[in-house]
Amino acid sequence: MAKRLVDIDEKALAAARAELGTKTLKDTVNEALRRAAPTRNRRVARALDTLAKARFRAVRAALEPLAASGQVARAGIADLEVGFSARNLGEWTRLVAALAAFPLIETDAVHVRRARQVQRLLASRGLRGRKVPDLLIAAAAEESGLAVLHYDADFDLITRVTGQPCEWVVPAGSID
C-alpha cells in the first residue's frame, strides 16, 4: 500500500470519524473511499423509491442487506424527496448521509421525457395525479433496466402502463 502526504482538514476529519464510526485516520479515509468507490462490479437490481419510510424497523431490515450487497440504486430526484421528508436539520443530515449507501442514477432529460409519456398514458386511462417524483423514479429505473423498490401504490399504477417490474419493500399496509 502506498503512503501519501496530504493536508487534512481536522474539522472535516472529526466529522467524518463521527459519521463513519471510525477512530484512526487510516480507517476513516479507507472507509470513506470504500463507500465512495464505484459500484460497477456490483449487480444492481432495483431502484429505490425513497428512504422516507426508513424510520420503520421493517423497512430498514429489508433495505440493509440489499444496500450492503449493492443491489439497490437511487434516482437523483429521490434525494430531494428524502430531504423533503426530514423533520429537522439533524434528521436531514442523517437521511442524506444514508443515501451514500446506494449508487446514484442521475435524473436526466431522457427520464423527464419518459415520465411525461407515462403521465400521458396514465391520463388516457383515467389514472391522473401520479406524483412527479414517482414518475421520474420509475422512468430512471425503467431506462436502467431495474425494478422499482417502493412503499407507494402509485408505482402499481405506473407499472400498469409501463409493464416494468416493481416490488413493495414491505407488504402494502404493513407500516401505515
Residue 61 falls within a domain, yes or no?
Answer: yes
Compute the mean pLDDT over every residue in the chain, rounded to the nearest whole number.
83
Measuring CA to CA, which residue among 142, 92, 145, 81 is closest to residue 115?
142
In a domain, 79, yes or no: yes
Is the pTM of the predicted complex or chain greater than 0.75? no
- Does residue 158 form part of some domain? yes
> Domain for residue 122, yes or no?
yes
Quick: pLDDT tens for 132-151. Answer: 999 999 999 999 999 998 88
Q: Give me the domain span that covers residue 58.
A: 46-166
What CA–CA distance (Å, rounded) separates 72 from 89?
26
Res 48 pLDDT > 80:
no
**CA–CA distance from 25 to each of 6, 17, 29, 97, 166 (Å)?**
12, 8, 6, 20, 41
CATH code (residue 86): 3.40.50.1010
Tell me the per-residue pLDDT of 95-138, one tens digit each, with 9 for 90 and over: 888 888 788 898 899 999 999 999 999 999 998 778 899 999 99
Tally of domains within the chain = 1
- pLDDT at 55 (0 to 100): 66
